[in-house]
Structure 1
């Protein structure tokens, strides 16, 4: 092969080698290119920003839940606004007059100063979780802030409510009490507008709607005769507690009028205003005093959504 021919072949081989290198470089990409680090960092930051947005959404969701907690009915929490309903023992045996002790712990320890509401510093409501065994009692407070009261307990899970006010702040805290033993929960009685207790007949007039204040009127009679000489009890002619079936949410119920105001009769009718937290069944416990004895009439009522 002459010299010009050899040079031509060499040129073709050299061009092929450069072409192959370019092709490989295009597939593999640049090695050690400084632009790759910023690109990777940008990608990582984008990923972190995405998680940050999700975290922000979750935090916002928690905030909404916390705001929702501000509107919860009473008694669903054992701690609220820096105060805690603390039992000395959260288990007691079944039987009459079982000694219960507890404190209301505040920011500086057990609370020892309370406002008087409805003639008492603190009202304790005890009820079994199947809404039986209702008791409304008034414990005695020691100087160190420990409250004591006997309860009549049957086996099962109980819910306790401490209703009180301190430094102008009214709270209802709830906590659980266990009573060991055989336990068969009772079914919720059907809705009724009439209750019998110790020879008295109590009738219920009115209904509860969600989100609006509803008027409930209880009328007391004995042997068919209206009772017109009810005695004042806790600053009114009756006391009403409403508990939601299931979670036992505690509704605040306000009486209409008071003894001695010149317009509120001493029976047979006693009226209250209540607002249902949700459409559900509620158990009502109406305490009234006559002939020196406090009795409790019980009702089931179904609250409905306000139209």
Structure 2
């Protein structure tokens, strides 16, 4: 997911940083094994293991962002996002409760097994029984409202290019300048590709206390879109001891398309000047 603090950021899931993770239940010899792949709706216990190359449940992990494992659940229509932190027993079985509405869900386990050269993001399907009412994809507005809080997104996702994304948090139209650290940063950002829920590797700029970042209102990240398309962004931030999640729909932009558009505008402007007296100006 997010790998910094001196770790090599090109080693995520065994790919280059632009490649999405979580598309496979098994990768680099590690497999996500859910105890049950069909559950009923409601608040449900979910248990699972990460099976290692030796066929045994992994019991030793290198913590990333203060946790041995980050567990993400989201319905296939991108609704119901939850970022939770399960508890592991000594045998390597993790357990946690999820609030699940009917539908097809995708489960992600983001881990750094001890001895492995980086993080691995594994994904598995979870079916929740009941009548499924899929929600349409929210519009790309650039702002998210969570109760009294507004989060504004500035920046673009460009295929194959690392770009800075800045999220600005305000409460009742006033900048929030006392965000609390959450998972070794002032915010935690998950990005998923719409269509297959490919999991992007996003990392924050700076860490609390390192002198390079402030507790709001801005939280900065660097993200690379693996392809053109539409993405869903989920920002977890903590204020006054409560973690909230802001959600965004983002469509990639192309630097080539932008420059082409600028050239087209310039050409039309020149055409307008040249042809104005000829009576066929371009509109």
Shorter-normalised TM-score: what interval?
0.7 to 0.9
For normalisation by structure 1, the TM-score amounts to: 0.76
Q: Give distance in 2, aligned partners of 1:120 and 1:197.
A: 26
Quote the offset at 1:230 in angstroms: 0.3
Q: What aligned pairs does 1:67-86 form with structure 2 within 5 A after superposition?
A: 72-86=19-33
Is 1:165 the counterpart of 2:115? The answer is no
SS in 1 for 2:112: strand
SS in 2 for 1:218: strand
Equivalent residues of 1:278, 1:304 under 8 A apart: no
Structure 1 segments of 4 or more deviating over 4 A? Answer: 69-72
**Aligned position for 1:107:** 53
Q: Give distance in 2, aligned partners of 1:241 and 1:149.
A: 19
Equivalent residue for 2:225, pick from 273, 276, 300: 276
Aligned length: 238
Q: Once the two structures are superposed, what CA deviation does each residue of 1:217-266 show, in whole Å capped at 9, x if it has no partner?
A: 00000111100000000000000000011100000101001100012111
Q: Give distance in 2, aligned partners of 1:128 and 1:217.
A: 26
**Aligned position for 2:163:** 214
Q: Once the two structures are superposed, what CA deviation does each residue of 1:37-67 show, in whole Å capped at 9, x if it has no partner?
A: xxxxxxxxxxxxxxxxxxxxxxxxxxxxxxx
Equivalent residues of 1:124, 1:139 under 8 A apart: yes
Note the residue ranges of structure 2 that are not aligned, 5 or more in a row.
1-13, 257-283
Structure whose residues are more often helix by fraction: 1
Q: What aligned pairs does 1:151-300 form with structure 2 within 5 A after superposition?
A: 151-166=98-113, 167=115, 168-300=117-249
Note the residue ranges of structure 1 that are not aligned, 5 or more in a row.
1-68
Asked which structure has the greater RCO (Cα within 8 Å, sep 6+), the reply is 2
Task: From the CA coordinates, give the structure whose radius of gyration is larger.
Answer: 1
User: Please, what is the CA RMSD of the aligned residues?
Assistant: 1.1
Q: Give distance in 2, aligned partners of 1:214 and 1:300.
A: 16
